[in-house]
Amino acid sequence: MPMSKLASPPTDLAVRRAPTFVDVVTERAALGGGTAYTFVSPGRDERPSLTFAELDARARSVGALLAGRGLGGERVLVLLPPGLDYVVAFLGCLYAGAVAVPLYPPSGGKYTARHAAVLTDSQPAAALVPGDQLPRAAELAEELRAPGLPLLAVDGDLPPAGDWRRPGIDGDTLAFLQYTSGSTGTPRGVRVTHRNLVVNSAQIQERFGSGPDTGVVSWLPPYHDMGLIGGILQPVYAGAPVTLMSPTAFITRPLLWLELVSELGAAISGGPNFAYDLCVDRIPEEKLAGLDLSQWQVAFNGAEPVRARTLERFAERMAPLGFRREAFFPCYGLAEATLMVSGRRVAGERLAETFDADSLGPGHRPEPAPGGLPVVDCGPVAADLDLTVADAATGRPCDPGTVGEIWVAGDNVADGYWGHPDTGETFGARLPGDPRRHLRTGDYGFVRDGRLHVTGRSKDLIVVRGRNHYPQDLETTALAAHDGLRRGAAAFAVERDGREEICLVVETAHGHVEETADAVIGAVRAALVREHDVAPGTVALVRPGAIPRTTSGKIQRSATRAAFTDGTLPVVRRSDTGAPQPQAAPA
């Protein structure tokens, strides 16, 4: 696909003027067009698909089903595995004027704390499920700890599409609750309206240049903002065809992602930083033979800190396949702003700028420094969105170029969390002389040359001996210190003898680490002293996958800290400011 195709014509006028996302889909269907979604399953030759017209018709049927049950305005769980039925179920909620609540189904009856939190908070009136689950409806409701919850099938005997009537909704109507990943605590449901969704879809379209000629491939979980909006909903706004696969298929076989991008000549695809690391670490060289990534124009990277080393490794490994460094699209966003706040394609060869580590703390003006810490910028702010770097303590704008808390204001910003009216300080912050409502993101960063540089989360900031340390910086340095380390690391503060010390938990690259543990720990300690002038109190090695993660793959530092301090983290080897000491893993 030639580069010029990325700059597709503006989205059709009727779609751009749509007041709700229901109108987006109905207008897109009225315009005709080809395939909207295709779903690929490993090992299966058939690839089910839906055209825009078929998508609209099926969503109307589900909408009529829900409306007939009096569920307009009610919360409805979307409890299906990734696939076309999931997309239809979600849109069917919107077509009924209901509030969709995306939630992954219990796996093999495994009920999690996240299920409990979401059900307790959202109090759903019904759940949409696959038809094959209806025979065990009572059992499934028990698994969800919600006896009596009505379960409705999206692939069964539905009303005809002609029975659907447009609900009385507008841009201010609540569309869905996006529950946060829970990386820092109990998940909370972000109240996303139709206006939020339409506006952010337009912002992403403007920045990506997406359109009918720009195919999308997505493996991202549809239960989280990047997968739901970036991989499913926004492409409908842009009229871009999407090929979907399940996140499990990607994690099990990362090569499938690259094979689909190559086969389809997809222009847009991406994921969190770890996805690019996984491809480099898990795909043998010989398996890449014959792939063509030259059509990949937007390789977005977001949802977690963007690592310069990751971009360099992926670009170097995939360059022989036609992948261009300029395709990288580092971006910043959060569910509270629907999805995207800023982003850009890499210009030229430089993927990151290095800064003096001591200048990256709040209130400082970062200074470029050769050999310093690399920071990948996340580009300029999206259209029709205002971003201010503010002093977290005073609520006043910081001096230009100074590190502070990132505040954003715009029509893509949600108005709060479901059932938590006490979060006005987060969603209703005011700047002096500015009456607009601002979202306090809780993230620190600075603006340089018109581009946002994100330095870390305020909640995760580690202060040791009066110096600020962002855990992701320590983690990045640690993982690069030795070839025996994997992609997972968690840095946090622990108290010892009345003072704060840094603890670093790192996953090894393989299960057999006893013979190299001392060397690995020594390399990590040396790297932290060299790069950050800090000696960690504890370095602990764990086996691959031992560090707790959210369902979207983010490291859970608070959960790791809790498991470490109560002795339930399966540590293989640990060093406490001295000679490494073996520690038996808990049974």
Q: What is the pLDDT of residues 498-511, one digit of tens each?
A: 567 899 999 987 65
302-326 pLDDT, tens per residue? 988 898 989 999 999 999 999 999 9
Dist. CA 367–CA 358, nearest whole Å: 9
Task: Give the DSSP letter of residue 8.
Answer: P
Identify the three-state secondary structure at position 355.
strand
176-212 pLDDT, tens per residue? 999 986 544 578 999 999 999 999 999 999 999 999 9
Choose the weakest-confidence range: 262-276, 293-307, 538-552. 538-552
- Which part of the chain has CATH 2.30.38.10? 353-410+428-459
Q: Tokens representing 89? A: 């179920």
Closest CA to 28 of 57, 70, 64: 57
- Which part of the chain has CATH 3.40.50.12780? 3-9+20-247
Q: pLDDT band for position 587 (50/70/90)?
A: very low
Dist. CA 135–CA 165, nearest whole Å: 30
CATH topology of domain 461-582: GMP Synthetase; Chain A, domain 3 (3.30.300)
Choose the weakest-confidence range: 229-233, 466-470, 488-492. 466-470
Identify the three-state secondary structure at position 468.
strand
How far are the Cα atoms of 184, 270, 282 from residue 274, in angstroms, in the given order? 19, 11, 12
What is the pLDDT averaged over residues 367-388? 92
Dist. CA 397–CA 394, nearest whole Å: 9
Q: pLDDT band for position 552 (50/70/90)?
A: low
- Which part of the chain has CATH 3.30.300.30? 461-582
Identify the three-state secondary structure at position 326.
helix
CATH 3.40.980.10 corresponds to the domain 353-410+428-459 = no
Q: pLDDT band for position 67 (50/70/90)?
A: very high
Pick the CATH number of 3-9+20-247 from 3.40.50.12780, 3.30.70.100, 3.40.50.300, 3.40.640.10: 3.40.50.12780
pLDDT number for residue 467: 64
Choose the weakest-confidence range: 89-93, 120-124, 517-521. 517-521
Q: pLDDT band for position 580 (50/70/90)?
A: very low
For residue 461, pLDDT over 90 is answered with no
pLDDT number for residue 499: 63
Out of 6-10, 88-92, 245-249, 516-520, the most confident range is: 88-92
